[in-house]
């Protein structure tokens, strides 16, 4: 069993479902104790029941500036410290009207950026303030998307979402540069299409599944699974990555280096 996070106290914002739930499990299995933040009370209760004393849950909205502050305070009070933040909260703005730029509504723009970018800003600011107060250094990992770097116009034209994810990369790299002398590391994970509740539309579209065969050609050309990101999450939060900051790690099945054509190449 990998125990790279033995003794670490980690906050996972968005940690009760999808990518975040998988990361919560992986961090605990690697030896950490976790405060998992999510908006759904039933899912938070399931997490608490599953992981017992290794986890604390907080039902709250990540776009509220007080949420990450409270989660970090709980880690420090109940687990005795705080060494790492994984911010994975976010999601599609399609239901609000996100799409191609000329079709994006004002509501879609505001809600998508609030849900994805503002929430990450709130978490990162709270973690940075805590690390500076403790004078310990620490690790921040943000979840962005390949769409922030490698657009896919046919099937994934959600321009407010792509903007938010690209901005997370810019914020992360700028913070990494500024806080490196203080021992605070900032890195990004950029997944491609992963099987989560958010991506159900894509998973159920035969044309997209066919497109993914050549756009994400690794391992048979499949949609990713949440656990595909877990090793990178644990590594970046751990002391194994103590000399790594300002990096964007694409966990994308080859998306960023593949054309993505219908049919076999």
Q: Which residues are catalytic?
A: 161
In degrees rounded to 5, what are phi and psi of residue 57? -115, 150
CA-CA distance, 43 to 50, in Å (whole number)? 11
User: For residues 12 and 88, is the Cβ–Cβ distance under 8 A?
Assistant: yes
CA-CA distance, 68 to 118, in Å (whole number)? 12
Nearest C-alpha neighbor of 87 from the set 162, 31, 164: 164
The secondary structure element, H or E, covering residue 189 is strand 184-191
Q: Is 262 left (phi over 0), alpha (psi -120 to 50) or beta?
A: beta
What is residue 76's DSSP assignment? I
State how far the alpha carbon of 181 is from the alpha carbons of 86, 111, 135, 243, in Å: 21, 35, 11, 12
In degrees rounded to 5, what are phi and psi of residue 58? -135, 120
Nearest C-alpha neighbor of 71 from the set 63, 82, 115, 19: 82
In degrees rounded to 5, what are phi and psi of residue 224? -70, 165
| Residues linked to residue 55 through DSSP beta bridges, in sequence order | 34
């Amino acid at each position: 069993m990998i125990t790279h996070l033995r003794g670490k106290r980690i906050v996972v914002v968005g940690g009760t479902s999808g990518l975040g739930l998988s990361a919560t499990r992986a961090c605990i299995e690697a030896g950490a104790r976790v405060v998992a933040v999510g908006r759904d009370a039933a899912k938070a209760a399931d997490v608490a029941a599953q992981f017992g004393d290794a986890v604390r849950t907080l039902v709250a909205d990540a776009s509220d500036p007080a949420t990450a502050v409270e989660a970090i305070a709980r880690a420090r009070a109940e687990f005795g410290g705080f060494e790492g933040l994984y911010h994975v909260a976010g999601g599609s703005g399609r239901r609000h009207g996100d799409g191609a730029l000329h079709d994006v509504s004002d509501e879609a723009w505001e809600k998508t950026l609030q849900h994805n970018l503002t929430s990450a800003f709130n978490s990162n600011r709270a973690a940075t303030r805590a690390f500076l107060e403790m004078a310990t250094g620490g690790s921040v990992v943000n979840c962005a998307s390949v769409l922030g770097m490698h657009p896919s116009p046919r099937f994934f034209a959600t321009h407010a979402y792509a903007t938010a994810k690209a901005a997370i990369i810019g914020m992360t790299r700028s913070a990494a540069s500024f806080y490196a002398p203080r021992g605070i590391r900032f890195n990004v994970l950029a997944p491609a299409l992963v099987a989560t509740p958010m991506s159900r539309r894509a998973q159920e579209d035969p044309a997209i599944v066919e497109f993914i065969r050549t756009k994400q050609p690794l391992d048979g050309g499949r949609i990713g699974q949440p656990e595909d990101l877990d090793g990178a999450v644990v590594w970046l939060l751990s002391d194994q990555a103590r000399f790594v900051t300002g990096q964007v790690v694409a966990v994308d099945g080859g998306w960023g280096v593949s054309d993505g054509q219908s049919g076999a190449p």
